Amino acid sequence: MADFIHHYEAGSDQRRPLLLLHGTGGDEHDLVPLGRRLAPEAALLSPRGKVLENGMPRFFRRFGEGRFDVEDIKLRAAELAAFVDEARERYGIAQPLALGFSNGANIAAAMMLLAPQTLAGAVLLRAMTPLVPDELPDLGGKPVLILSGSADPMIPAEDATRLAGLLRGAGATVRHEVLPAGHSLTRADLDIATDWLAQAG
């Protein structure tokens, strides 16, 4: 299926599936416990990023910290969207909500902007603006939760705010919260995401 190593767990038809997108150095198993914790009854679809950086899987290439290869993002977002479409047919699941952390959150945001038909919404944990599309899509009120850390050394505060603005400009219903945290997740992240997913999915 679009050549992605992945992990799948079935869930209840009453809950929207989660597309789990790991951070740099993670794999298809990395976010499964988090997905199960946040949405216990949801189906989980978790691909492994195909780009290697010093042996660590990622979802797209970068030139350095915070310096992204935009052309590769476009290619990888389209490839991942095709994988999701094939997985939906294979496993008989509905349009998923993305749950992405760091690099995974960035590719999820790129998919929202470049392949808006693929996702029902997204939880973006420690996300940056992956790119600015030539034309904003119509996201038609799709729900997006962005959780940022005020002490995150990797992501400037204005960058996450810019992403929230882009998604709002495309018509998404965006909730953006900045928590007293660094790049790692906290209990507050988990509690907010759990409540949000219960309403969105």
The set of catalytic residues is: 102, 152, 183
Q: Distance between CA 57 and CA 37 in Å, rounded?
A: 23
